[in-house]
Structure 1
Amino acid sequence: MQNLINKQQATFGFILMVVVLLWSSWAEAQSRIKDVANVAGVRENQLIGYGLVVGLNGSGDNTPFAEQSLISMLNKFGINVPPGVRTNAKNVAAVAVHASLPAFAKPGQTIDVTVSSLGNAKSLQGGTLLMTPLKGVDNQIYALAQGNLVVGGLDASGRDGSSVTINVPSVGRIPNGALVEREVQSGFSTGTTITLNLHRADFTTATNVTNAINDMLGSGTARALDAESIEVMAPRIPDQRVAFMSILENIEVALGESAARVIVNSRTGTVVIGQTVRVSPAAVSHGGLVVRIEETLDPSQPNPFAQGQAMLVPGTEIDVEERGSRMFKFDSGVTLDELVDAVNKVGAAPSDLVAILEALKQAGALRAELMII
């Protein structure tokens, strides 16, 4: 009896292991909804502000607006600077401060800020940002930034004019340098539905996401609005909506194949060919004309009794060579691997490959969109 139980347990364990392996292999081919879509209205918001960095070691600005900002700040503290008197402060820099306010950020939380010089400051190393209001596009203050800068660059110079610059010393960061003062309402908790926006619009992916949600949560829960947006019925109570989103964003979906594209970077010569690219039957012959120009300096010696001077005379040798063209044939439905192998056999350079692809596109044999960036 005990042996039978042990055999049943072993059999059940083997079946469970097979199910786990099958589930793992299936899950690897899937993507979570949270990786392919975002919730409409739940996003970051950009903030920007203008401030002063003080405490620099003589590497500050020498600009009128930096001095004007310093005088304005001094006036707010009751220190009156006579008109026409220049401060000539070299340890102050006018800066632009920007940050990203995360979704659902609450007052009292901190965010990172980036500080960039606006004038001719050589370095912000060792500087301190004074309290700077950060505003949104609606001109409302959402955070206050202040703190010591962390600068990854270095600028050093000597009296003889020599200088050394490493990275960019005129830009720095302040980790947790801004305190959130106002919350941005996202509208996540309002209404009876939420909208999922795909990162890449695709009708197949939108249909797969809709079907996966309906299979998991019931028919009619989701409906596709277009190739990018899916509307999903959601609870109105906030805590239930959060739990609902936790289930929703972890649903596995199959992504639709992207459109066949060949991307060519004209500046670097980089060519990226998608896996769905196909080529119709075609024959390609690619060869080139090689012209070599070599400059030489030939010595010129005057006659023994002549009144002359030995000198070097420039000469030019021109050699023209026409390489033999090699032809290769593409059969119907050629795949990416076969296309690359055929081109590699010819020994084509990236520029040659671009010429071949353009010719195939003009001939109607390349079943893909050719994009030049």
Structure 2
Amino acid sequence: MEGHGMTYFLDDQVGSAKDRKVKLSCRNIWKCYGPMDSGIYQMRDTPERASAVAALRSSGCVPAAIDVSFDVHAGEIFVIMGLSGSGKSTVIRCLSRLVEPSYGEILFDGEDLLEASPKRLIEIRRRRMGMVFQSFGLLPHLTVLENVAFPLRVQGVDRQRRESRASEMIELVGLKGRECAFPAQLSGGQQQRVGIARSLAVEPELWFLDEPFSALDPLIRRQMQNEFLRLQTLLKKTIVFITHDFLEAIRLADRIAIMKDGQIIQIGSAAEIVLKPANDYVREFTRDVPLAHVLTVADVIEPYRGHLQATQSCGADMSLLDAMPSFAGNPEGFAVTNSSGAIVGEITASKVLTIFAESQERTR
């Protein structure tokens, strides 16, 4: 991919979420609180629409989501982020119809959820979706085992099977031995693990997480992020994750959507958003993000020329922060390998320094 005088790309051999089938499509979703002319839903992103939305706000109508569209691919972690009031939580609630959209389409494996009957929607939520929110939402009078098994109980699963499944999920999130504890006896991080185990008990195809770690202390939050990534490596769920923390988004996301005032401003990988911001808002939003944390080796990879005598190699998915110490023993550069160990390119110190310098120039 070319841009801003530099080359950065994901090699086809490394793989991309975009190569997978679309699991969830959000098409032109609006959510407005208060009366408004339905004709505005048909307006595309033009100065006229911006004026109409501003007039709506002045009249007391609140457009919380404005013409939101995106696809989420199977097995992808799609992060929606923005400041408080940007509309990100409204959008994720629209996706599951916890909030009814005013207009648009939400396609889950091709089925429009906005056309689903109440009975059909309940079935989809119970059997195909998992949800985790900032508030843990545990039932205080139930044990860990009973909390995790609760969605299966609602489904009518017999006690032996639901408790067996719940025990598996409890072990998966690292809480084996705490099955008989009550929520009040657990730390915040442990309670969130119970919430995650409960949402996984129904084996959801689609997993919604709305700022699940924001109430946790920084150290516990990082531990939960690590746990989340470990679970995703094992389970490969299709995930929509909400956060206001860009560093958290960088750690977790395959792709990121940035929202402002109810609208999606830009969608892309962390590297694309930082290196090619769509406008001044995104540029300012990402201004202080450490570039070495954002970029992976795959973002700065060059064609392999075969002339390097490097004794080391690194994986294409390694962060630049982790890869840079390797230049100490290999100043000319070193080979880059894919998950199968095959060489797919090379990385050089001069390339990395050029990208850092050009990025610094653009933020001045």
TM over 0.5: no
TM norm structure 1: 0.21
Higher relative contact order (CA 8 A, sep 6+): 2
Larger radius of gyration: 1
Higher helix share: 2
TM norm structure 2: 0.21
